[in-house]
Amino acid sequence: MSISNMLKNFLPLDLMFRIKYRNQYNSPRTLKQGNKKRIYFVDAPDYANIGDQAIAFAIRRFAMRFFPDYEFVEILQRDLASYLEWLKNNIRDQDVIFLTGGGNMGNYYRIYEATRRIVVSSFKKNRVVIFPQSIMYTNDIWGRLSKTKSQKIYNSNPNLLVLARERYSYLEMKKIYRNVMLCPDIVLSLLGSLSFESVKREECIGLCLRDDIEQKLSLKDHSMIKSICKESSSRLKQITTISDQTEITAANREIIVVNKIKEIASCNVLVTDRLHAMIFAAISSTPCVIFQNNNAKIKGTFSWLKSIKQMQLIEHTDELKNALVQVSSAQSDFSEVFDYSAITNIIKRSIHG
């Protein structure tokens, strides 16, 4: 571990948050108070990861569908510090706080864990919902210390509901947090609600492969995958779930997410090791072969989709050729629709007394 990383681990997360967002703390902002009850989505992403943007898009649609009598108020994660004092003074008991889902719970992505801790510890009278997350703590002293601290903070809030998006994370969360439910990634709630039938399929295989700290496939694996795909198709289409937009907000999020799903829908088959590329394939009824990443979230999330014959999870590159044939020739059966009524009812019961 580098000296800079060691110093970062020594720095308490609340202090890290205050240092990173000191300008926002020094420039407090207010929101216009309305008469309607509110859902505050307080850590919306503004960065280029389209998978995380799809989560934010799905959270907004979830709120509008199941809580139509609530006003949905979105605050970007980078702006939370500006609004924190106003929220503490003006939030009402029946208002609800949503925190984003994804794969950033733990000490790999520390600033997002810091954000959750601050919100969970600041709003104990309100229902706080952490949307479906995967949990990842490093197996070292820093991971254990961070887990213990988050456990103390999360369990101090009796109104916190933590949602796990796959079984591994659910079992881990149940060991340390009080109120945990297993729930599909919220982007899966888009299945059946968006249509991509008008998108023309091209004679190509889409490749969407990781190149980051969660990557499991080697460069040699990447080369082998491309070689096998070229044997099966005259053209490969390189796809990324990282947007070239420098800023993504509620104003342009939907079109960016939908256009990315359309890009995947234009392929005959998608090969990927990215979780939300896999989900985009399911949403757009695109046959898909999936490789695992270096943690449990791909395998765990695929368990929600395993009944779909046009989607196949494989371990090794030598399985790819047969998998491409199988998913391409299987009968289309993208009819899975996921039920989110259990978490909806828990939230409603808590805010209606």
Give me the pLDDT at residue 255, please. 97
Give a three-class secondary structure readout of 195-234. Answer: CCCCCCCCCCEEEECCCCCCCCCCHHHHHHHHHHHHHHCC
Give me the pLDDT at residue 234, please. 81
Give the three-class secondary structure for 144: helix
CATH number for 205-329 (one of 3.40.710.10, 3.30.465.10, 3.40.50.2000, 1.10.630.10): it is 3.40.50.2000
Q: Is the pLDDT of residue 9 over 80?
A: no
* Least confident residue range of 90-99, 163-172, 211-220: 211-220
Prediction pTM value: 0.95
Domain ranges of the chain: 3-189+340-351, 205-329
Structure tokens at 283: 């949403």
Give me the pLDDT at residue 334, please. 82
pLDDT tens digits, 28-40? 999 998 899 999 9
Q: Is the pLDDT of residue 4 over 80?
A: no
Question: What integer best gives the mean pLDDT of the chain?
Answer: 94
Domains 3-189+340-351 and 205-329 share a fold: yes
User: Is the separation of the CB atoms in 249 and 76 below 8 Å?
Assistant: yes
pLDDT tens digits, 273-304? 999 999 999 999 999 999 999 888 999 999 99
User: Band of the pLDDT at 5, cuts 50, 70, 90?
Assistant: low
User: Is the separation of the CB atoms in 95 and 39 below 8 Å?
Assistant: yes
User: Is the separation of the CB atoms in 229 and 294 below 8 Å?
Assistant: no
Q: What is the DSSP track for 36-105? A: SEEEEEEEE--SSBHHHHHHHHHHHHHHHHH-TTEEEEEEEGGGHHHHHHHHHHH--TT-EEEE--EEEE
Percent of residues, the chain, with pLDDT higher than 70: 97
CATH topology of domain 3-189+340-351: Rossmann fold (3.40.50)
Give me the pLDDT at residue 279, please. 98
Q: Is the pLDDT of residue 7 over 60?
A: no
d(CA 44, CA 56): 6
Give 347's DSSP letter. H
d(CA 163, CA 59): 13
pLDDT tens digits, 111-154? 999 999 999 999 999 999 999 999 999 999 999 999 999 999 99
pLDDT tens digits, 221-270? 999 999 999 999 889 999 999 999 888 999 999 999 999 999 999 999 99
Beta bridge pairs of residue 256: none
Q: Is the pLDDT of residue 1 over 80?
A: no
**Number of Cβ within a 10 Å radius of residue 133:** 27
pLDDT tens digits, 49-66? 999 999 999 999 999 999
In degrees and rounded to multiples of 5, residue 164 shows phi and psi of: -105, 135
Q: Is the pLDDT of residue 2 over 80?
A: no
> What average pLDDT does this structure show over 3-24?
81
**Number of Cβ within a 10 Å radius of residue 108:** 18
Give me the pLDDT at residue 213, please. 85
Angle, helices 110-122/141-155, rounded to nearest 10 degrees:
20
